[in-house]
């Protein structure tokens, strides 16, 4: 999982893609989980940094405490896919949850519901 800051400054994404080469003409699609709000960045270039590939990106849709999916393409070929957690506060010992205060489990409900476990 990648961590990004919720701002519009340029950020470097370090990834281990299917193809580890410096390349140009890349596109990156980012989609926010839950809202499907998306942004596509085009004409990106990558640089090799050891075993990793770095891509500099400037996003406009990042919001604090949100989850995103990113996909890096060269034409129609998928190079890389990953999840992104966007936060401006990061403490390595903290526990983060994806659905914190976005879902409340109900104690009441239909008692006739049956669940089949296989």
106 — alpha (psi -120 to 50), left (phi > 0) or beta? Answer: beta
Query: pLDDT tens digit string along 79-113?
Result: 999 999 998 876 666 666 666 666 566 666 666 66
| Predicted local confidence at residue 71, as pLDDT | 95
| Predicted local confidence at residue 44, as pLDDT | 94
Distance CA 71, CA 57 (A): 13
| Predicted local confidence at residue 94, as pLDDT | 61
Distance CA 39, CA 36 (A): 10
Instruction: Supply the mean pLDDT for the chain.
Output: 85
Query: pLDDT tens digit string along 28-75?
Result: 999 999 899 999 999 999 999 988 999 999 999 999 989 999 999 999
Structure tokens at 98: 């994806």
Query: What class has domain 2-86?
Result: mainly beta
| Predicted local confidence at residue 51, as pLDDT | 87
CA atoms in the 13 A half-sphere facing the CB of 66: 20
Q: Where are the domains of the chain?
A: 2-86
93 — alpha (psi -120 to 50), left (phi > 0) or beta? Answer: alpha
Structure tokens at 91: 């403490």
């Amino acid at each position: 999982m990648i961590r990004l800051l919720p701002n519009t400054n340029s950020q470097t994404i370090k990834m281990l893609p299917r193809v580890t080469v410096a390349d140009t003409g890349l596109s990156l699609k980012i989609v926010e989980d839950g809202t499907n709000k998306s942004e596509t960045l085009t004409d990106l270039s990558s640089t090799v940094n050891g075993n990793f590939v770095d891509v500099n990106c400037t996003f406009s849709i990042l919001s604090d405490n949100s989850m995103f999916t990113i996909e890096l393409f060269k034409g129609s070929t998928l190079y890389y896919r990953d999840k992104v957690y966007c936060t401006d506060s990061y403490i390595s010992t903290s526990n983060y949850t994806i659905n914190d205060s976005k879902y409340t489990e109900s104690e009441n409900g239909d008692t006739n519901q049956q669940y089949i476990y296989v």
